[in-house]
Structure 1
């Protein structure tokens, strides 16, 4: 368990005081992948650097297990950091060292013997999928391979916590997917807790269990990823969700699309988990004397399961439409909202 209480970071310049992280409270469960999302300047990178004290906090506490990181003396902090790995956006590799030598570097600092070091490095090279590239230099690697080296190096001392600061933002979409798959594999095989900082909701959707949304140094919304997708409360969260599920401006334009057939009801359906794979529309059309016109829809997957939205126009007798709506609300797990009585 990671417990963060009242965490604060402020910078004082000649002109003004800047609060980068503002009284932040979070509890992160052991073994989960926890995402923190925000736009540039939200304070998320400062926050993650406060966890291992690459930045010194102005106030508050960070407790990992039974250790309050914010109160450790220099030598105790150095030892505690061996339990915290970190993956950076721009890899931070030593360009004069080979893949194997980069991964071995933290083991050298820790004083591990050469024999044990060699064995551990090979284990990590195999784990991250770089077998055969041990003697390559960073300049000979692709972006994805460099990040794999960074991940392997961060795991060298068998940490309990892995911090990822925009670990995929410098990569193309296909490489990003492969790196995210690797992080999930590491999480599942090693039971490693991962805190992942990003500005992309696609990254959160693919691998995170829970997410915190940051804005102006504060956590403005937090919850299970699927819940946040289904019921975003803050405007900033709605913007992030629209990265994955489509532009909300398109939804606002839906009523005008019905001008040629202004009757019935406009319905928004939200499908969750197994319900996303059921043939609800055909069931309703067969069971009730109604016509259903599909206006717009999209389905995607999260770590917790499938999630989708579908906008439909239902026409027919009012009583029959109401019966169909009642059926969805009482007999299925699909969430239904009447957007407009046309």
Structure 2
């Protein structure tokens, strides 16, 4: 029996190592994919197309789990892993096609600003992401924008967990509630990405994409301070999540389109990973400290409203710079 136990532990260890690897991979692959999009398309193209690209990610998030559930009986675990590998290989082929298109009609076309060749290595060293962010007020602004985003999201997430646990003690009820919220968020985000986001970016500018949702979240926190109920919190959570997926995320990626390759591939990845996940941890600690003061939801909501107000003001400032850059490129 001991060899079987050892073999089982080995397999479990392998499963754990694969889980850690896929978690780290998922963290980086989204950031790198958006780096590629920011490199392929220039600023005016980004305003037109990034919402539809984000919609593709939303569709993939819906189709992937459904396809796995339908195909696991036919293909088995090994077959699903092989299918995932083939899809990744197809993504690499499409990446080569996109980079070739970039030189003809994208950000690297003849005469385009910053037409850096993707055939040359990106300048800098492994720490260039950090140094580039620290040396640029624009990139520091984006990093602060991400920190404020994670702070508002974390405060809402913990309040949601507390209110749901008190209002729905039954686990099955909690699953149904979260499932209903997730369905509304996914459907709302996809419809917004397809039919609303691009129009806002082109007609009203990136600044509206980046400032509107924080403004609504600020109002939501104030509403939560006045009426700390689950209905108010659920409404704010739905608005925040739909807004982040449909407006804030595409708008945030548009900020990188006019920048050089080192900023797109190194500074951006530093912000998307270290700053984002660090913001999660810092805001969680801040929430715990505020809870220790014993003021309940009122204090959390007021601090959250202040953070959301600064978040929105910073989004308006950063988006204004991106809009001016896109207008200059349109003029050329």
Structure-2-length-normalised TM-score: 0.18
The structure with the largest strand share of the pair is 1
The structure with the largest helix share of the pair is 2
- More relative contact order in 1 or in 2 (CA 8 Å, sep 6+)? 2
Greater Cα radius of gyration, structure 1 or 2: 1
